[in-house]
Structure 1
Amino acid sequence: MSVKLPRFGVWALVHGSRAALQDPAEPYDASWARNKSLVLEAERLGYDSVLVAQHTINPHDPSLDQLEAWTSSAALAALTSRIEIITAIKPYLYHPVVLAKMAQQIEHISGGRFAINVVNAWNRPELERAGIGFPEHDARYLYGREWLEVVSALLRGETVNHHGDNFHIDNYQLQPADPFRARPRIYVGGESEPARELVAAQGDVWFINGQAPDDVARLITDVSARTRPAGQAALRFGLSAFVIARETQVQADAHLAHLFALAELDKPLRERQKVNIDSKAVMHQTFAQSPRVGSNGGTAAGLVGDYDVVAQRIAAFHQAGVELFMLQFQPFEADMRSFAEEVIPRVRRLLSQ
């Protein structure tokens, strides 16, 4: 059973609304101005982390705006003072030496609050249209494993001599080194067997997509049992979830129904998008098993209800091993505020009893 209190984070709105793109109460806005305001408010409200997803083109509709993750994260690092900034990275988009130097720089700007989230891509056009190519699922993970090995060693301040299938690096060291800790924290996403092997071998925190508590518990049990490198701390776990918390269950259910109706307006877009998704991505196989709104599992985690019910469900997830809850809302800013004011205190009271 966990003894530390859970941490709470929010998804930056790098490609707009998370549940439905055509919501009159939340017009589409993936601008830097909105994201800056949202993250600064999240920090003021006491949220612990922000996840900045990485896409170079919008994964829903290439004609829509898309915020660039790494330049935005550097700016957020300079503007904030406490919140952890977790930035996603698709290894094929950056050479590991270049990415490690960028990560180390943002670590310095933030004063030791930076982390990377390694994801091995599912959106085919993003890589194919750039001429990079989109290798088969397991091949992407082999590449990502070698890529992360190089990045981790450079972030630890080591002099790297690496000669592998994809990279040949001679006598390379980054300066200045990290004065805050051994290296920035590494999160890993993905639930396939190669993803589980990768996080057990090289990650600090495993991001699990929103799903039922029993399924989450099984995933945690599976990966916790895997061998970790000598001297490496125990693996920690995060959960993505879309939250609808209201004064009453009736109000929460009504808002969920409202979002489902709005999401139907995006159905033609989702149908066109299916051809771009890697069929071997376990995330999308899991999504197909249950109706939900929100990305990365969304409401499949069951955090829909009155304030007390949502708090109780979060406490149960935490006791099963989830340390960080990475949350989505819609309307985002309003629900982010009410969650901080109504749900987080209830969770803390439950876990302190």
Structure 2
Amino acid sequence: MPISPVRFGVWALVHGSRAALQDPDEPYDASWARNKALVLEAERLGYDSVLVAQHTANPHNPELDQLEAWTASAAFAALTERIEIIAAIKPYLYHPVVLAKMAQQIEHISGGRFAINLVNAWNRPELERAGIGFAEHDARYAYGREWITVVDSLLRGERTRFNGEHFHIDDYLLRPADPFRSRPRIYVGGESEPARELVADKGDVWFINGQPLEDVERLIADVAARARPPAHSPLRFGLSAFVIARESDAEAERHLGHLFELAAKDTPLREQQKANTDPQAVMFRTFAQTPRVGSNGGTAAGLVGSYDTVARRIAAFHRAGIELFMLQFQPFETDMQRFAEQVAPRVRALIA
């Protein structure tokens, strides 16, 4: 399997700190002002992508601030020049025709740097309290498959006709079409069997949650072996991970211990999040197997250690097929800069 050049991205802080919400060195801040500054700094430091997760309400506590993904992504597109902007989307929140038009517009604003991250909702109250309803796991993926089929066709500038269980599209056409490429890139998250089938059939990049290298290798082998539509390019792979890189392994482990202590203060909020979560969501069962800090697998990927240790582990994931590393830090801005200056050059030297 050919490996694409390594890319590094960051998670926008759409709901504040990623590892612990009560950190005196990183006060809770999910504001537009902070996220704007963070994304502009990430671009200056050479990061390749930013992922803007979508929640209409904060998944930890509805009283806490929550950045809106799609309006923020449109603004990032206008403010930046090089970085890829990936906006997550939960299909139940937008009709596919409306969403495709929004995505097409952000693609134009960005000059061809926009991407969609298709996720199927796990936070039950977000949909139920809005009166939308929360279908069971496989039904959400069936809905998402119809949804992305419509969006894909519209983004390609095609006259779209579709008759399914959920959507009936009668000769719809969106203009202006994409002048930069056939359509924006589609990332797909999720590790259940329906998710794997969906990404093999409809996705360009599979986002894998942070976990040990041997588990990632098994996931890549499984999905890479699946049939793809003839017109699709080979599937690529991304990994979410929380990074703690310091001068020495011991220093990194001390900071990890510090974050575990801080994260313990969030236990009531984590328990509430767990109660709101679909028990069929595979990623949360995976997370329970390894102590960690950070979201979407966090430190379970093992990117904790000296600059050289972390670089070697990233290089090993890259050899296994991971192209894009979507990274989290805490304190975010400080460690984002540290990674760009100390770890990224080491990784590129190892894989050159």
Common topology (TM > 0.5): yes
Aligned counterparts of 1:271 and 1:37: Cα–Cα separation in 2: 32
| Residue equivalent to 1:25 | 25
1:179-233 CA-to-partner distances (Å, cap 9, x unmatched) read 0000000000000000000000000000000000000000000000000001210
1:100 aligns with 2:100: yes
Deviation, structure 1 residue 119: 0.2
Given that 1:2 and 1:319 are in contact with CA atoms closer than 8 Å, whether structure 2 keeps it comes out as no
- Among all aligned residue pairs of Structure 1 and Structure 2, give the percentage whose two residues are the same amino acid: 78
1:212 aligns with 2:212: yes
Given that 2:60 and 2:272 are in contact with CA atoms closer than 8 Å, whether structure 1 keeps it comes out as no
Q: Secondary structure at the match of 2:112?
A: coil
Residues 153-164 of structure 1 correspond to what in structure 2 (within 5 A)?
A: 153-164=153-164
| Residue equivalent to 2:60 | 60
Q: Secondary structure at the match of 2:291?
A: coil
Residues 1-353 of structure 1 correspond to what in structure 2 (within 5 A)?
A: 2-352=2-352
Alignment coverage as a number of residue pairs: 352
Aligned counterparts of 2:186 and 2:298: Cα–Cα separation in 1: 23
Deviation, structure 1 residue 93: 0.2
Counterpart code for 1:272: Q
Segments of 5+ residues of structure 2 without an aligned counterpart are none
Aligned counterparts of 1:320 and 1:85: Cα–Cα separation in 2: 25
Aligned counterparts of 1:348 and 1:9: Cα–Cα separation in 2: 15
Q: Secondary structure at the match of 2:187?
A: strand
Aligned counterparts of 1:324 and 1:134: Cα–Cα separation in 2: 31
Deviation, structure 1 residue 172: 0.4
Aligned counterparts of 1:339 and 1:165: Cα–Cα separation in 2: 47
Aligned counterparts of 2:294 and 2:242: Cα–Cα separation in 1: 6
1:262-304 CA-to-partner distances (Å, cap 9, x unmatched) read 0000001111222100000000000000100000000000000
Deviation, structure 1 residue 3: 4.7
Deviation, structure 1 residue 2: 4.7
Q: Secondary structure at the match of 2:322?
A: coil
Given that 1:5 and 1:348 are in contact with CA atoms closer than 8 Å, whether structure 2 keeps it comes out as no
Aligned counterparts of 1:41 and 1:273: Cα–Cα separation in 2: 31
Q: Which moved more, 1:250-259 or 1:265-274?
A: 265-274
Given that 2:211 and 2:301 are in contact with CA atoms closer than 8 Å, whether structure 1 keeps it comes out as yes
Counterpart code for 2:164: G
Moved beyond 4 Å, runs of 4+: none
Q: Secondary structure at the match of 1:41?
A: helix
Counterpart code for 2:311: A
Counterpart code for 1:195: A
Q: Secondary structure at the match of 2:275?
A: helix
Aligned counterparts of 2:263 and 2:2: Cα–Cα separation in 1: 36
TM-score with structure 2 length normalisation? 0.99
Aligned counterparts of 2:53 and 2:173: Cα–Cα separation in 1: 28
Segments of 5+ residues of structure 1 without an aligned counterpart are none
Q: What is the CA RMSD across the aligned residues, in angstroms?
A: 0.6
Counterpart code for 1:75: A
Given that 1:120 and 1:140 are in contact with CA atoms closer than 8 Å, whether structure 2 keeps it comes out as yes
Counterpart code for 1:101: K
TM-score with structure 1 length normalisation? 0.99
Counterpart code for 1:29: D
Counterpart code for 2:268: P
